[in-house]
Chain A
Amino acid sequence: MSNGEPKLKSKAASIRAYSTLVYVVVIFFSILAVIPFWFMFMNATWDSFSIQSGIKLWPQIPGGIKQLITNWSNLQARASFSFPVGFLNSFIISTSATALTVYFSAMTAYGLSVYNFKGQKALFAVIVGVMMVPTAVNITGFYREMSAMHLLGTKWPLILPAIAAPSTVFFIKQYLDTSLSKEIIEASRIDGAGEFFTFNRICLPIMVPALATQGIFSFLGSWNNFFAPSILLSKNEDKTIPLMVAQLYGDRFVDYGMIYVGLSASVFPIIVVYVFLQRYIISGVSAGGVKE
């Protein structure tokens, strides 16, 4: 406690009451943020009939795990799509896109931060400017372009554009401007290293904290992306997890256990990853706001 010198008892009491109120509100909103996910997981352990009599707040004990497995296998058997395939698709797209975003954004940011070339400032200004452009407005043009390139129905339209991620470039450049000392580059050059060697072997490792943060956000963005995949992917075997989840509420699905197990399955991996990486994610969010 910081208020180490309470002047009056009543004041201390009022502060205590106030802080109790604050705790109640803060805890309420903390719980509110996660309670839906709790509901999803709990209901995934019940059969459809039980859920119909009311949403479940607790797991089914005993037999919850068994029911969970039954729900999951029902989902596998009855859905027109396959979640494992969806995970694979999402995984391939998200990891590839993230790798491209991280590497090429680092490269671009490095180019903008380290070298002085004509048009450098203008280019950076343009990058900051295009961060504001809503990415979805070019969808008709993009669709037609992909169609002309015969890339529809493939994963490329969702992967390749990741090379150009203006906001990632912006944040990595901000990081480089403050954290990369020019002396390292000079020293590397004196030792006779080429520019790409310097970038790949010496500077890239220095950037890892920034790249990790940006990589996490890029991955989540790609994983959760719905708009573009919903337009570009039409076959069930190509679809990503968000698209499959969206199909869960079709007329075919009157089995609520199946719906909840599907929802849970789409949420679970993200929560696991989040538990391990939340520190970086939250510091990334903090940094994003302050830097601007």
Chain B
Amino acid sequence: MANTNRTHKGMSYSRFGYIFVAPFVIAYCIFSLYPLLTTFWYSTANMQATTSAFWGFSNKEVYYDRYLDLNEIYDDLSKVDIDSSGYNKIKNFFAAQDYADRYHPLDEDGMTAITSIGTSAGFSSTTISEVQAAVDNQDVGQISTESYDELKGWRSGFSDISLTLTDRLSTYSGQLDAIVNAETAEEGEETESVTPETIMANASYTDFVASLADLQLDANQQILVDYLLTKTSYTSLQEYFDAITDGEASMADPAFYYVISNLNSPSVTTEDGEAVTAIAVPFISDVETYLKAEIWKDTISNSSSYTELPAYIDGSKALTDNMDQLYADIKDLNDAGIINAEVLVIKGGEVVVSDDTSGANFLAVYDKYYVSADTPYQSNPDEIAAAMQISNLGSYYELAARTKLVSMGVALDKYITYEGDFDVDKYNEFKAEVGMADVLTMDKYKEIDEQRMAERVEKAEEKVAEAEAKLPEVQAAYDAAVAADEAAGIENPQSVVGTDSYKAYGDLRSVELQIQKNESIISDPKGVLEEVNAKKMYISVGLDNYKEIFTNKTRFSYVTGAFVTTAVVWIIGFVPQILLALLLSAWFTDTKLSLKGLSAMKALMYLPNVITAATIAIFFRRLFSYSSGGALSASQLVLRAFGDEDGYNFFASPWATRLIVCFINFWMWYGNTMIVLIAGITSINESIYESAQLDGASSFQTYTKITLPLLRPIILYTLVTSLIGGLQMFDIPQNLNMNPALVDFNGVMIPSIRTVLMYVNAAAFGKQDVKLVGIASAVSVLLFIVTTILSIIIFYIMRDKDAAKAKKLMKKGGTK
């Protein structure tokens, strides 16, 4: 009855309940729940490609500087009041910055491969430790030139066919990318379009074709020409070119470019290595322009392996995974002359594909090692990863040297060698130093961008007008051509190559496209600033981050290694801590002993728990540090006092390092646990002990039969709180040693005291340019899941006995 009464009274005030809890709920949602949900969200994002602007390391201005087409500004410097030397400085600055972003060669897996094959490859310990330091600090600069030379030496002696092929694929990939991307970059620009017609109309073409009649070929040239003609269905060059001129054969045919490029610069040598004299093809660059713009992009896109090249190159796909397709695609591209994947030699009066399996002869190498199933090639993946990583480092060092040589001036050097996160102040300082402090401001960018957009629109409008004026003319021409062709009995003449309608249709289409394209520019002019904004967007990769964590061996080892390290270090600290706390609490509450000075001892033992963990870690670091010189730490002095002349380098041993962390955890927490247990024991009803005493139970019996069972909930509480804290272990290991000894985990060397949070911290907030935010978020989510599951399990165990107790308590409360 009392209950309903209270409820009724409360009702009129209940809205205040909402008001009172509102700040908490709002703050929780903003500062805990929302970030938690976004962390879940980010765990499905490809944040590796995300610019720092998204991540907040810089202001937009910096990125606008970088992505604005500075060349365009340079053309018209008067617009922005930049003197050209200042402009050059800033351009070099961004070139350097871009290089730093793009060529940052620190691939953790590759670096780990170097350390893991370290001893077998004969690397010195300095090299291995420097490579490890580079990984830990996310800074390639940690590798000295001497160590790099050592790596390079090994790399040059290392031979592995699949690596040769991967290197080769990487070159092809670069060539193909350049073709595909060059075209998109030119989009929207007005270029004189090159067509077979314009090429053939040119004197360089007609002269060349005319000269074919008088062409005197030497023996090797003749062999080459005969070989090239086998790629066509013609018997002489003249016949072939006449067919081209007449439209019987097409310049778009892959064979055409293959033929002319081989005439122009023969890739064939005689067996003695003697080169074949070239037959200059003066219009070859026009053909290239035409093919690049019109044909190659499709050819490349149609080779299904093109998009997968990066996977083959970074090793996530093995060369043998889809070898038939890869081989066919490379062959097609080779036959189209787009890439050069085979070595030709003149042998016995004939051009043949060399069976030499040296580097450049991709197809032959592939043939030999992969296509013939009787010699399946086995590679050591670790060595390949290491060798590839060293190649990356090579290009990095080379570029670093080159970038520094560019006349950057002191200011730029200062910037590049600046260590630490991107610092806007530093950047502004740099701008001030090159005398451009208030030139490239945000407002200026907007102004430039708007101006540029306006110009684009204006240009587009002109083009639309121009095209519209042309439209009736080409339309009429097209209609006439169709009518004429149809009269000649051709069905769908516009789709039959060579007809007048076909040509007229092309003209009509291009005019229509011009209108379409420019109208879209007018209706939605895109500025550079907008494009920069687009770069900051989240790119979803679904569950790829998780997939990587669970399938990439190195990543898997790093992540699970961090979890295992955390768990191991926690358990080894927790077990002695709870045992000691149980012992001490038993003594402190033992009435027979009735120890004095309890509160003072409690106060002393609890002290470590209130002290800053970072301070404690630094102190222990000093305590256990090792040096061979005169400066000895306390631990070394003690060892020496016991006769160990050399002392012992604790931090060189992964387990000694771990045990130090365990000891610190133990030391910081036994007082706390003891106090909690004492409180638990003293809350147990006295009468139980009295009756036990009357029954003649010993202290030990009382403890094991009464105290421990009744203390169970408290012990479990300690366990849960310690577990949740333990899984988030960070301060102590982070500060104890930044470059701890490595320990083998699952075949991969991991830092012995890198906990889960340290991994998250390093991945998302490390010094490296590319922040692995997606991976870090996914690891956070895993930590969340692990904690939740463990808490639920422990609660479940706890519930059994406590549920009854809780029910009783609730009943008591009800009857009161």
Which chain A residues have a beta carbon within 8 Å of chain B's beta carbons? 1-3, 15, 18-19, 22-23, 25-27, 29-34, 36-37, 39-40, 51-55, 104-105, 107-108, 110-112, 114-118, 120, 123, 130, 132-148, 152, 160-161, 163-164, 166, 169, 182, 195, 199, 220, 223-224, 226-227, 230-231, 234, 241-243, 245-246, 248-249, 256, 259, 263, 266-267, 270-271, 274, 278-279, 281-282, 285-290, 292
Pairs across A and B, CB under 8 Å, 24 listed: A26-B595, A29-B605, A104-B23, A111-B16, A112-B20, A114-B20, A115-B16, A116-B7, A116-B14, A139-B764, A141-B39, A141-B42, A144-B42, A144-B56, A147-B55, A161-B32, A164-B28, A226-B614, A227-B728, A234-B421, A242-B612, A245-B618, A263-B618, A274-B603
Closest-CB distance, B12 to chain A (whole angstroms): 10
Say whether A138 contacts B730, CB under 8 Å: no
Rounded to whole angstroms, the CA-CA distance of A249 and B436 in the bound complex is 39
Given A137-B780, A138-B35, answer yes or no on A285-B676 (Cβ-Cβ < 8 Å): yes
What residues of B have a CB within 8 angstroms of the CB of A144 in the complex?
Answer: 35, 38, 42, 54-56
Given A160-B27, A249-B621, A290-B683, A108 contacting B605 (CB threshold 8 A): no
Query: In whole Å, how far is A168's beta carbon from the nearest beta carbon of chain B?
Result: 10
Number of B residues, CB within 8 Å of A: 112
Measured between alpha carbons, how far is A231 from B761 in the docked complex, in Å? 8
CB of B592 within 8 Å of the partner chain: yes
Contact indicator A263/B619 (Cβ below 8 Å): yes
Q: Are B613 and A224 in contact (CB under 8 A)?
A: yes
A261 CB, nearest partner CB in chain B, Å? 12
Residues A116 and B10 in contact, CB atoms below 8 Å apart = yes
- Given the complex of chains A and B, what is the CA–CA distance between A83 and B776 in angstroms? 32
Q: Cα distance A160–B39 when bound, in Å?
A: 19
- Are A248 and B781 closer than 8 Å at their CB atoms? no
For the complex, give the distance between the alpha carbons of A227 and B728 in Å: 10
Task: Please give, as numbers and ranges, the residues of chain B lying within 8 Å of A182 by CB-CB distance.
Answer: 6
Contact A116–B20 (Cβ < 8 Å): no
Q: Given that A130-B32, A134-B727 are known contacts, is A22 also in contact with B787, CB under 8 Å in the complex?
A: no
Closest to B671 in A: A33
Q: Annotate B58-101 by CB proximity to A: 1 below 8 A, 0 otherwise.
A: 00000000000000000000000000000000000000000000
B21 and A123 within 8 A (CB): yes
Q: Which A residue's beta carbon lies closest to that of B720?
A: A132
Q: Is the CB of A115 within 8 A of B679?
A: no
Tell me the complex Cα distance, A104–B28, Å.
11
Chain B residues 14-52 with CB under 8 Å of chain A are 14-21, 23-25, 27-28, 31-32, 34-42
Q: Which residues of B contact A248 (CB under 8 A)?
A: 618
- Max chain B Cβ within 10 angstroms of own Cβ: one of A37, A55, A160, A223: A55
Interface contacts beyond A54-B634, A117-B10, A141-B41: sample of 12 additional A-B pairs, CB < 8 Å, sorted by A: A30-B604, A33-B670, A108-B21, A132-B791, A137-B783, A140-B42, A152-B56, A164-B27, A164-B31, A230-B734, A267-B615, A282-B602
A263 near B35 (CB under 8 angstroms)?
Answer: no
With A138-B39, A139-B760, A259-B618: A270-B32 Cβ-Cβ less than 8 Å? no
Is B17's CB under 8 angstroms from A138's CB?
A: no
In the bound complex, CA of A44 to CA of B654 (Å): 30
A266-B781 in contact (CB<8A): no
A226-B37 Cα distance, complex, nearest whole Å: 23
A136–B39 touching, CB < 8 Å: no
> Are A274 and B23 in contact (CB-based, < 8 A)?
no
CB distance from B45 to the nearest CB of A (A): 10
A117 to B720, CA, bound (A): 31
Contacts of B608 in A (CB 8 A): 33-34, 36
A200 to B670, CA, bound (A): 39
Which one of A118, A152, A169 contacts B14 once the chains associate, using CB atoms below 8 Å? Answer: A118
Say yes or no for B631: interface residue by CB 8 A criterion.
Answer: yes
Whether the pair B36, A227 counts as a contact (CB closer than 8 A) is no
* Residues of A contacting B587 in the complex (Cβ-Cβ under 8 angstroms): 22, 25-26
Cβ contact within 8 Å between A33 and B7? no
A195 neighbours in B (Cβ, 8 Å): 13, 16, 19
List of B residues within 8 angstroms of A136 by Cβ? 728, 730, 757, 760, 780, 783
Interface membership of chain B positions 627-665, coded 1 if the CB is closer than 8 angstroms to chain A and 0 otherwise:
000111110010000000000000000000000000000
Do B607 and A274 have beta carbons less than 8 Å apart?
Answer: yes
**Do A281 and B610 have beta carbons less than 8 Å apart?**
yes
Contacts of A51 in B (CB 8 A): 631
Q: Please determine whether B630 and A115 come into contact, CB atoms closer than 8 angstroms.
A: no
Inter-chain CA distance A145–B31, complex, in Å, is 9
> Does any Cβ of A come within 8 Å of B11's Cβ?
yes
Q: Does more than half of chain B's interface fall in helix, strand or loop, or is it mixed?
A: helix
Give A292 to B795 CA distance when docked, in angstroms. Answer: 12
Q: Does B317 contact A (CB under 8 A)?
A: no
Interface residues of B (CB under 8 A from A): 6-7, 10-11, 13-21, 23-25, 27-28, 31-32, 34-42, 54-56, 420-421, 580, 583-584, 587-588, 591-595, 599-608, 610-623, 630-634, 637, 667, 670-672, 675-680, 683, 713-714, 717-718, 720, 724, 727-728, 730-731, 734-735, 757, 760-761, 764-765, 773, 776-777, 780-781, 783-784, 787-788, 791
Q: What are the residues of chain A within 8 A of B610 when measuring CB–CB?
A: 220, 224, 270, 274, 281
Contacts of B764 in A (CB 8 A): 139-140, 143
| B780 contacts A140, C-beta separation under 8 Å | yes
Minimum CB distance partner of B9 in chain A? A186
Question: Which residues on the A side are within 8 Å of B41 (C-beta)?
Answer: 141
The 10 A-B pairs of least Cβ separation, nearest first, read A111-B20, A147-B56, A115-B17, A289-B676, A141-B38, A141-B35, A286-B679, A117-B17, A163-B27, A161-B31
CB–CB A141/B777 < 8 A: yes
Q: Which of A54, A117, A242 contacts B15 (CB 8 A)?
A: A117
CB of A141 within 8 A of CB of B37, answer yes
Given known pairs A30-B601, A163-B23, the reply for A120 and B773 (CB within 8 Å) is no
Contact A112 B604, beta carbon cutoff 8 Å: no
Give the distance to chain B from A52, nearest Cβ to Cβ, in Å: 4
Instruction: Answer whether A120 and B606 are a contact pair too, CB < 8 Å, given A108-B23, A256-B622.
Output: no
Q: Separation in Å of the A150 CB from the closest CB of chain B? A: 9
Contact across chains for B714 and A107 when beta carbons are under 8 A apart: no
B766 vs chain A, min Cβ distance (A): 11
- B214 to A: closest C-beta gap in Å: 72
In the bound complex, residues from chain A placing their C-beta under 8 Å from that of B780 are 136-140
Query: Which residues of the other chain, A, contact B584 by a CB distance below 8 angstroms?
Result: 25-26, 29
User: Is B27 in contact with A29, judged by CB distance below 8 angstroms?
Assistant: no
| Contacts A107-B23, A141-B37, A231-B765 given; does A226 touch B599 at CB 8 Å | no
Tell me which of B39, B671, B680 contacts A290 (CB under 8 A). Answer: B680
Pairwise interchain contact A108-B20, C-beta atoms closer than 8 A? yes
Residues of B within 8 A of A26 (CB): 584, 587-588, 595, 601
Q: Is the CB of B611 within 8 A of A117?
A: no
Give bound CA distance, A223 to B615, whole Å: 12
User: Given known contacts A33-B608, A123-B21, A285-B675, is B614 in contact with A246 (CB within 8 Å)?
Assistant: yes
**Which of A31, A54, A279 sits near B632, CB closer than 8 Å?**
A54
Bound CA–CA A163/B30 (angstroms): 11
Given contacts A285-B606, A289-B680, whether A142 and B35 have CB atoms under 8 Å apart is yes
How far, in Å, is B627 (CB) from chain A's closest CB? 9
Q: Closest CB-CB distance, A263 to chain B, in whole Å?
A: 5
| Also in contact, A137 and B784, with CB within 8 A (given A108-B24, A286-B679, A288-B676) | yes
- Is A285 in contact with B24, judged by CB distance below 8 angstroms? no
